[in-house]
Structure 1
Amino acid sequence: MALGRTLGVALVGLTGHVVEVEAHLAPSLPAFSLVGLPDASLAEARDRVRAAVTSSGIAWPNRRITVNLSPASLPKSGSGFDLAVAVATLAGAGVVDPARVRDVVHVGELGLDGRVRPVRGVLPAVAAAVAAGRTQVVVAEANAAEAALVPGADVVAVRSLAQVAVRHGADVEVPDVPPVHAERTMAGPSPATSDLREVVGQDEARSCLEVAAAGGHHLLMVGPPGTGKTMLAARLPGLLPDLGEADAVEVTAVHSLAGTFDPAGGLLRRPPFEDPHHTATSASVVGGGSGIARPGAASRAHRGVLFLDEAPEFATAVLQTLRQPLEHGELVLHRAGGAARYPARFQLVLAANPCPCGRAVGKGLDCSCRPEQRRRYFGKLSGPLLDRIDLQVELQPARAGDPDGESTAAVARRVATARAAQAERLAATPWRTNAEVPGAWLRARLGPDRGLVADLDRAVDRGTLSLRGVDRVLRVAWTIADLAGRPSPTAADVGRALLMRTRGHGA
């Protein structure tokens, strides 16, 4: 009887758990069993490991092999355990030194030819290993740059299983194998390179965009085609400040797990921008998949912008799933294989036409839509969803001769100043922007003068504003005050915030 041990990492959402991989070799009829709550892709490791070992010129032990992934109650998924399973088996067979592999973390998928292939989620996996005190990590060569982004990690890049075995004391020949490149679904060019000056006219919409950027508020833009809704949304990330160190690591970890991260540029320092097509499913927007759910566009937009163009054309189920992250800043996805928790504190930007045909401008004389079609169109944007949108603005077609507006750089400087004021005010709290602050905390700092919120009280009495809406108007009012350099909002700031929320109706 022989026993070999090494370490791997199981990811449940973004949370990594160090897993002990044990291989027990008993003198009995040859067999290979894998236990410890593996999913289907992990159970297939038996065949991949056997083929990779023999392809590396190492004799496969003809014994009864039982591999246990401990703790057994933790769900484990993916092919990233292949390398750890192979090393533990070779340690049990005496091919490699068991003492040298016991405290080393191995993360990688094995090809049938013995090459070590990259896997997704290496950044959070290595970060979890380092946090648990396991700093020695062996990864695929294509994952080395990403793993090296974790401070304190002693990363070893390998190209083949034979190379790993030799490193741990085996006497085998290391073949010259071609490198394996990581396959990623790369996002398109960052919209932050576009300048806000390119948007002609639309002073009111530009003002709302600046307020949204300064306070982290959600935004709805309604207007006919060609008025600049998409252009404005695409320029919002350029107004946002760079991500802090902790946010950069968290955002990069999400994109690593989603397979959209290129480690060549280091950690993601700019706010991400996601704009799924209106035919996207709920799983692609909020995350999904069999076993442990994978992150969707909402999580990939964490600390950035999620833009839904033609929002009423999205399926109702997709729009309703956004209510949880809008309220709590995270997504908890429950599946049969377990629950995955992903951060999703994004700025939601919705764009919609005034009607299905898009020609309801002014008196709508050119509009061919029937009243029930209009109601059905905007009915997709339910009351509970719209109640979570801080800013709403109507865009009118630009006219010839409308002047160009300010540049992105000029507006971004004001946004940075407002963000600095919020950071100073919220320094002793768990919140960072006005959009995250509870209404009770903001109301307590307005003072006893009810005249500041008289307009809000009247709107609540008329039924045009909910109590949640009152809190969101106050958040916008504080942002307007921050942009103006005032220590607290005035009655005019509150009135302007109410107009920005109701598109001028019912104020």
Structure 2
Amino acid sequence: MLNKTYCSAVYGINACTITVEVIVSTGLHYYIVGLPDNAVKESLRRVESAITSCQLHMPRQKIVVNLAPADLRKEGSSYDLSIAIGILASSGQMTNELLADYLILGELSLDGSIKPIRGILPITLQALKEGFKGLILPQENAKEAAIVRGVDVIGVENLSQVVDFLNHRIKIEPTKVDIQNFFHTNTANYDVDFSDVQGQENIKRALEIAAAGGHNLILIGPPGSGKTMLAKRLPTILPPLNMTESLESTKIHSVSGNLKTKESLLTTRPFRSPHHTISDVAMVGGGSNPLPGEISLAHHGVLFLDELPEFKRSVLEVMRQPLESRQITISRAKLTVDYPASFMLVAAMNPCPCGYFNHPEKECICGSNTVQRYLSKISGPLLDRIDLHIEVTPVLFDQLSTTRKAEDSRTVRNRVIQTREIQKERFDSFPNVHCNAQMSTQLTREICQVDEAGRKLLKTAIERLSLSARAYDRILKVARTIADMERSKMIENHHLAEAIQYRNLDRETWGGKF
């Protein structure tokens, strides 16, 4: 007898419903078709052991399992539970009355227990879209799925529980999550704070500008000057995630398997800090079964690259396109997926191999050619895409030993939120623009108007620093953010002057244009 159950496959950050057709007939062999990978082919062995362990009967007949649509490759172990239920229904051991109402997903252990799977959030959203009554899935995934309103989320622990539920022997209450309360009680509480940083007021000012406008920045300075410490505190002054941003980020982390077991929704902005030995694929995403890379895992958050020149040149160059388009497209022979990648890039580096080039007190032991080779590891096109270049100087003893309390993150964050509100109102009619850093060239020219004196100042800066057209746009965007912080409708000369001074790496001090 033929029976159909339903499960789902994740491609990129979107899900596709898979129909599992099972027929039990005369014969002795097991067949599974529909472009299954090895993990799916092996599922029949797991299913057989799980059925037997739960005191149910595994048919000793010909079993054919078809995963439709047959032209999509099926990967992973999430089909186990759906296949098992299809076999039991086709062999007459349970009713098929509710099979069309639920997506059934989960990996089976040999003892019949059900293990969690990846990508539950996009699967649940697709189930809602296609009108399913609910999902039957591992208990550990239930809270993540319950974020989506409008579908029943039935969390189960073993195969016997699923059979009893579908046979109306037991009743399982759908899992519920109070999203608003969850969002409120899990609001960002960071272990670090801006008040930990003594001195460095000019650097903290630059970080506030970056946070207020969503700008990329690079910190350059000697070892021990506080570059990493400052960068790690940037998320503490960013505006909190709204519900839309939280769902988008959670989908990516769910698909990649990085969502913590007890974490059903991301409530703090991601902060990703990959090691400099990372590969191209790990950075942008990919693989035979494409998964999100670090730039997508940092979506709506911060990607921090410490010791920037130590990263492979190819790794840095693949980020150029995502920094502009804020998404990455990964193409394979039979599959193309898009991952969002709207992140703030924060980089840190020493000015030379020894770290003391241009240091006010310590002498650099590197030759001029060595310094130039070191700096040239970062290409000009990549630097053009970084809005603020900040020189970090060592902290003086008097600043370190002071007992005066520095400004905390909450105070700075409140100012950043107020500035972002101005931008939100400005870009209300532009659905894909939420902050100044996301403006297109055309929009930048339209919004970032300057007077005649401002144009002369920009012309002088471009000629002296040999700035590119892209760097010109970045200056205008940063100046617009500084003006917003001062509640100024127009970009004044001092706003432009401050924005221009944040192009340190374009200056002759650092070896000129890279």
TM-score (norm 2): 0.89
After alignment, is 48-57 or 343-352 more displaced? 48-57
**Residue aligning to 2:260:** 262
Q: Provide the rounded CA distance (Å) in 1 between the counterparts of 2:210 and 2:11.
A: 33
After alignment, is 469-478 or 69-78 more displaced? 69-78
Deviation at 1:227?
0.7
Deviation at 1:405?
3.9
- Report the secondary structure of 1:264's partner residue: coil
After alignment, is 258-267 or 320-329 more displaced? 258-267
Q: Supply the AA of the counterpart residue of 2:137.
A: V
Aligned residues of 2:30 and 2:64 also touching (Cα < 8 A): yes
**Residue aligning to 1:500:** 502
Q: Provide the rounded CA distance (Å) in 2 between the counterparts of 1:68 and 1:393.
A: 59
Change in Cα spacing, 1:191 to 1:225, as seen in structure 2 (3 Å) is farther
Deviation at 1:447?
4.6
Change in Cα spacing, 1:61 to 1:115, as seen in structure 2 (3 Å) is same
Which residues of 2 match residues 408-423 of structure 1 at below 5 A?
Answer: 408-423=409-424
- Of 38, 49, 52, which aligns to 2:50? 52
**Residue aligning to 1:349:** 346
- Of 369, 372, 375, which aligns to 2:369? 372
Aligned residues of 2:144 and 2:263 also touching (Cα < 8 A): no
- Report the secondary structure of 2:98's partner residue: helix
Deviation at 1:11?
0.3
Q: Over residues 350-372 of structure 1, what are the superposed CA-to-partner deviations in whole Å (9 max), with x where a residue is unaligned?
A: 00001111122437862222333
**Residue aligning to 2:275:** 277
Q: Over residues 327-357 of structure 1, what are the superposed CA-to-partner deviations in whole Å (9 max), with x where a residue is unaligned?
A: 1112222234622322211101000001111
Q: Provide the rounded CA distance (Å) in 2 between the counterparts of 1:89 and 1:148.
A: 28
**Residue aligning to 1:383:** 380
Q: Provide the rounded CA distance (Å) in 1 between the counterparts of 2:78 and 2:231.
A: 38
- Report the secondary structure of 2:35's partner residue: coil
Q: Provide the rounded CA distance (Å) in 1 between the counterparts of 2:455 and 2:80.
A: 62
Change in Cα spacing, 1:463 to 1:221, as seen in structure 2 (3 Å) is closer
**Residue aligning to 2:176:** none
Q: Provide the rounded CA distance (Å) in 2 between the counterparts of 1:253 and 1:309.
A: 27
**Residue aligning to 1:184:** none
Q: CA RMSD in A?
A: 2.3
Q: Provide the rounded CA distance (Å) in 2 between the counterparts of 1:376 and 1:44.
A: 53
Deviation at 1:60?
1.6
**Residue aligning to 1:470:** 472
**Residue aligning to 1:182:** none
- Of 222, 225, 241, which aligns to 1:224? 222
Q: Supply the AA of the counterpart residue of 1:452.
A: G
- Report the secondary structure of 1:401's partner residue: helix
Aligned residues of 1:191 and 1:237 also touching (Cα < 8 A): no
TM-score (norm 1): 0.91
Aligned residues of 2:465 and 2:506 also touching (Cα < 8 A): no
Where structure 1 has 5 or more consecutive residues not aligned to the other structure, the ranges are 173-189
Deviation at 1:229?
0.4
Alignment: residue pair count: 487
Aligned residues of 1:90 and 1:96 also touching (Cα < 8 A): yes
Q: Provide the rounded CA distance (Å) in 2 between the counterparts of 1:227 and 1:135.
A: 57
Aligned residues of 1:13 and 1:340 also touching (Cα < 8 A): yes
- Of 480, 483, 491, which aligns to 1:481? 483
**Residue aligning to 1:428:** 429
- Report the secondary structure of 1:100's partner residue: coil
Q: Over residues 268-312 of structure 1, what are the superposed CA-to-partner deviations in whole Å (9 max), with x where a residue is unaligned?
A: 1211111111222223322233x3211222211110111011111
- Report the secondary structure of 1:217's partner residue: coil
Aligned residues of 1:439 and 1:475 also touching (Cα < 8 A): no
- Of 116, 129, 132, which aligns to 1:131? 129
Which residues of 2 match residues 107-506 of structure 1 at below 5 A?
Answer: 107-169=105-167, 192-262=190-260, 264-289=262-287, 291-336=288-333, 338-362=335-359, 366-402=363-399, 405-430=406-431, 431-447=433-449, 449-461=451-463, 464-502=466-504, 505=507
Q: Supply the AA of the counterpart residue of 1:11.
A: V
Which residues of 2 match residues 32-51 of structure 1 at below 5 A?
Answer: 32-51=30-49
Q: Provide the rounded CA distance (Å) in 1 between the counterparts of 2:119 and 2:195.
A: 38
Q: Over residues 180-225 of structure 1, what are the superposed CA-to-partner deviations in whole Å (9 max), with x where a residue is unaligned?
A: xxxxxxxxxx893311122122222111100000000001000001
Q: Supply the AA of the counterpart residue of 2:30.
A: F
Deviation at 1:502?
3.7
Q: Provide the rounded CA distance (Å) in 2 between the counterparts of 1:316 and 1:369.
A: 22
Change in Cα spacing, 1:498 to 1:191, as seen in structure 2 (3 Å) is farther
Q: Over residues 146-196 of structure 1, what are the superposed CA-to-partner deviations in whole Å (9 max), with x where a residue is unaligned?
A: 221222220111111122122222999xxxxxxxxxxxxxxxxx8933111
Deviation at 1:325?
1.9
After alignment, is 63-72 or 427-436 more displaced? 63-72
Aligned residues of 2:450 and 2:492 also touching (Cα < 8 A): no
- How many percent of aligned residue pairs carry the same amino acid? 39
Q: Supply the AA of the counterpart residue of 2:75.
A: S
Q: Provide the rounded CA distance (Å) in 1 between the counterparts of 2:120 and 2:344.
A: 27
- Report the secondary structure of 2:67's partner residue: strand
- Report the secondary structure of 1:256's partner residue: helix
Aligned residues of 1:75 and 1:338 also touching (Cα < 8 A): no
